[in-house]
């Protein structure tokens, strides 16, 4: 797809607005990414038209965010956020303005944004409206706050996290005054909902240039103002090379001996908690268990090939910090794939025996013995000690399990 296509698909919205006497521009992340020659998935549009005027001009709309000036305009296959020019009232909680005032001046709208590279507007002819030298910041690879940095950070402390996240994603340097403002206001992060912080951390830890952020994070000393992280009593917190959020948090639990109950402070889903605990268990297994092929088969069966390969790569990239050693010729992705492809079953439900069969065969009522027996059968099958046929499994149980 042409880098222009996403704008061309939305061009008709700008034309409708302009043909009816309103100003309209592309703005924000899509313009920034376009100027950086990065992939663009969607665009945001800003306009002088009031929300009610936007609704009147387009056949299909959704009033999601209308109180803040945003109307969703529905196209044939896409939807677009169209937001009225606005300026923010006073911030009292270091996160949200007490009020939003609709305005007719593009300058006032972009002046409220966080960083200059995000404050560039572009019209339908791809002409830039760059009041704060955002293009220059992009060319010089600098992350600079719009206006007075300390004011921007005090208004919305989440901008501190966004600045660090942008550095991890772009590899840009932080403007000295902007970074200092972030350091001075880092304590305000304790007023930000952890859910919003986690969103930024997930983007940060997967950033291509995550290593660039380590010195910044240490300088800001920001983790001591966040739930979960504040319980890690170390001067610096381990930040790995490119990872995913769950693996990173699992490694923190592993390195700093954190109780899993602490995960509730992150307010993440139960599925995410299970993923974190799985990664922790794998790291612990590679640290302490005998790294025999038998154990590798059990790990690959229990956790899946992808997760085991992710952890192996993670250990290789962070071996010194994790203090886990293994020889890559003995444990590697090729071996994991080979083990996975040869597994006779991939889940306990694949067994050709169940509790009903066991009770009928051994003329015994249900109870804990069924679960214990099926667990033993499961291990025997994945280790190829018995074929996964009902007759073979029953005979194996007769010979190896005390019923």
Q: Known binding site for CTP: residues?
A: 29, 32, 113, 156, 159, 162, 165
Kindly list the distances between the CA atom of residue 13 and the CA atoms of 16, 134, 304, in Å, as whole numbers in the listed order. 5, 25, 46
CA 25, CA 48: separation in Å to the nearest integer?
Answer: 9
Residue 72 tokens read as 């969703």
Binding residues for Mg(2+): 42, 44
DSSP string, 251-295: HHHHHHT--GGGGGGGT--HHHHHHHHHHHHHHHHHHHS---HHH
CA 278, CA 274: separation in Å to the nearest integer?
Answer: 6
CA 31, CA 8: separation in Å to the nearest integer?
Answer: 13
Q: Which residues contact 84 (CB under 8 A, 6 or more apart)?
A: 46, 47, 48, 49, 50, 51, 54, 69, 70, 102
Helix (H) or strand (E) holding 122: strand 121-122
Helix (H) or strand (E) holding 27: strand 24-27
Binding residues: 29, 32, 42, 44, 113, 156, 159, 162, 165
What values do phi and psi take at 172, rounded to 5? -70, 155
Binding residues for ATP: 29, 32, 113, 156, 159, 162, 165
CA 276, CA 372: separation in Å to the nearest integer?
Answer: 26
CA 87, CA 107: separation in Å to the nearest integer?
Answer: 10
């Amino acid at each position: 797809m042409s880098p222009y296509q996403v704008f061309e698909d939305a061009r008709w919205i700008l034309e409708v607005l302009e043909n009816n006497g309103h100003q309209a521009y592309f703005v924000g992340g899509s313009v920034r990414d376009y100027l950086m020659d990065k992939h663009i998935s969607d665009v945001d549009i800003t306009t002088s038209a009031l929300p009610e005027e936007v609704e009147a001009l387009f056949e299909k709309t959704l009033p999601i965010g209308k109180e803040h000036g945003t109307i969703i305009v529905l196209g044939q296959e896409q939807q677009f956020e169209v937001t009225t020019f606005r300026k923010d009232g006073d911030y009292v909680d270091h996160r949200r303005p007490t009020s939003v005032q609709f305005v007719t001046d593009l300058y006032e709208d972009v002046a409220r944004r966080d960083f200059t590279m995000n404050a560039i507007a572009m019209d339908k002819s791809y002409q830039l409206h760059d009041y704060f030298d955002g293009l220059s910041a992009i060319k010089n690879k600098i992350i600079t706050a719009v206006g007075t940095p300390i004011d921007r950070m005090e208004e919305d402390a989440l901008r501190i996290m966004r600045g660090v996240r942008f550095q991890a994603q772009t590899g840009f340097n932080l403007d000295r005054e902007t970074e200092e403002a972030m350091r001075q206001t880092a304590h305000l992060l304790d007023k930000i909902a952890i859910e919003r912080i986690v969103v930024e951390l997930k983007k940060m830890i997967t950033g291509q240039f995550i290593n660039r952020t380590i010195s910044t994070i240490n300088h800001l000393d920001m983790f001591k103002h966040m739930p979960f992280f504040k319980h890690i009593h170390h001067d610096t917190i381990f930040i790995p090379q490119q990872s995913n959020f769950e693996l990173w948090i699992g490694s923190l639990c592993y390195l700093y001996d954190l109780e899993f109950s602490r995960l509730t402070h992150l307010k993440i889903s139960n599925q995410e908690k299970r993923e974190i605990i799985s990664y922790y268990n794998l790291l612990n297994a590679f640290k302490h268990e005998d790294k025999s092929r038998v154990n590798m088969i059990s790990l690959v069966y229990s956790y899946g090939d992808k997760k085991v390969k992710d952890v192996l790569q993670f250990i290789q990239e962070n071996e010194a910090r994790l203090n886990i050693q293994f020889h890559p010729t003995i444990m590697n992705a090729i071996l994991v794939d080979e083990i996975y492809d040869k597994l006779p079953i991939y889940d306990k439900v694949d067994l050709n025996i169940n509790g009903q069969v066991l009770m009928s065969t051994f003329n015994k009522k249900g109870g804990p013995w069924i679960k214990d027996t099926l667990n033993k059968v499961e291990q025997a099958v994945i280790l190829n000690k018995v074929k996964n046929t009902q007759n073979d499994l029953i005979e194996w149980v007769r010979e190896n399990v005390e019923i």
